[in-house]
């Protein structure tokens, strides 16, 4: 049975779910997304990825700055939705909005709840060295990602994956999970169970102050830090290039054998000593430049063995 759906989402992560819902023949009566923001040199307003997809399919788009006002809540209720689907929307939903759809609001969250509630679950799972993660569909309530869980899918996190790699896999996995949840809902069979009370962790938004690489940490921690922040905002260090200190983002690395004073370059392949062990830098990005392989970086930078980076 086709459902009457309001979709609420903003970034690229939400796009596969929206397109899958449309492809399944559900009636998406409106899309709510964050308002366009000035971007680029000309500071032209840039619409969100979800906004662009909605326009392509001719779906009405709403971009309120808040849903706390009575006018916004009345407008939302007037859409007469069976259910709202929420994927990385970015605004808090007041109780009046949560209660408006006949079947409430379903949220797709990119972690194995109750682990990594909050804003940056993909980054935090990799930075913490988690062996697995997943996606969950939960019925929303007023608390932060506290609602009962209806469906889940797990995925092992490979040692070389960055946040970008895992993001794309979870976005596709989550889209499939949500359309299955909607199919169950349309048949009246979407049950949900409360989250466990033990094991709650919070995925705080990434702060720029935590992006600098600390080479005194064990190599495993450094590697997880690098891949967890790749590609955005990017883990970084300072290198002396052409006699000048320059900030360089490290986008990919690998765990390798090696030992030395933390931050010491051990060879021409950019193996860097850590507090314990070493990492080899695989992909780097100079300020204002494009990502490049370590070999290409070395052709221009020529960082020598024995150099110290900070």
Residue 218 CB neighbours (<10 A): 15
Secondary structure of residue 153 in the 3-state scheme? strand
Q: Which residues contact 188 (CB under 8 A, 6 or more apart)?
A: none
Is 113 one of the annotated binding-site residues?
yes
Q: Which helix (H) or strand (E) holds 155?
A: strand 149-156
**148-180 b/e (C-beta count within 10 Å ≥ 16 → b):** ebbbeeeeebeeebbbebbbebbbebbbebbbb
Output the six-digit token pair for 184.
């169950």
Secondary structure of residue 74 in the 3-state scheme? helix
Output the six-digit token pair for 138.
């939960």
Is 48 one of the annotated binding-site residues?
no
CA 150 to chain centre: 21
Alpha helix locations (H) across the chain? 15-23, 49-56, 70-77, 95-99, 121-127, 163-186, 219-228, 294-301
Binding residues for (6S)-5,6,7,8-tetrahydrofolate: 111-114
Q: List binding-site positions.
A: 111-114
């Amino acid at each position: 049975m086709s459902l009457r759906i309001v979709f609420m989402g903003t970034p690229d992560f939400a796009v596969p779910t929206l397109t899958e819902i449309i492809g399944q023949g559900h009636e998406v009566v409106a899309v709510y997304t964050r308002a366009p923001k000035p971007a680029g040199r000309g500071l032209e307003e840039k619409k969100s990825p979800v906004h662009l997809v909605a326009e392509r399919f001719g779906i009405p788009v709403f971009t309120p700055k808040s849903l706390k006002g009575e006018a916004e809540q009345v407008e939302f209720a007037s859409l007469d939705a069976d259910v709202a689907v929420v994927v990385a929307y970015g605004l808090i939903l007041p109780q009046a909005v949560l209660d408006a759809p006949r079947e409430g609001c379903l949220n797709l969250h990119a972690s194995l709840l109750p682990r990594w509630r909050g804003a940056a679950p993909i980054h935090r799972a990799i930075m913490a060295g988690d062996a697995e993660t997943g996606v969950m569909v939960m019925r929303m309530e007023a608390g932060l990602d506290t609602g009962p869980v209806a469906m889940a899918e797990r995925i092992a996190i490979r040692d070389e994956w960055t946040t970008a790699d895992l993001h794309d896999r979870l976005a596709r996995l989550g889209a499939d999970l949500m359309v299955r949840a909607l199919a169950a809902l349309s048949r009246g069979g979407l049950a949900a169970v409360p989250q466990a009370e033990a094991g709650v962790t919070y995925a705080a938004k990434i702060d720029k102050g935590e992006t600098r690489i600390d080479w005194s940490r064990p190599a495993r921690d450094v590697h997880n830090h690098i891949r967890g922040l790749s590609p955005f905002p990017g883990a970084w260090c300072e290198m002396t290039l052409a006699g000048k200190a320059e900030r360089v983002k490290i986008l990919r690395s690998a765990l390798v054998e090696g030992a030395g004073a933390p931050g010491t370059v051990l060879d021409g392949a950019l193996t860097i000593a850590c507090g314990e062990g070493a990492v080899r830098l695989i992909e780097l990005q100079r300020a204002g430049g494009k990502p490049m392989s370590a070999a290409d970086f070395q052709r221009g930078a020529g960082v020598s063995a024995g150099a110290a980076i900070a």
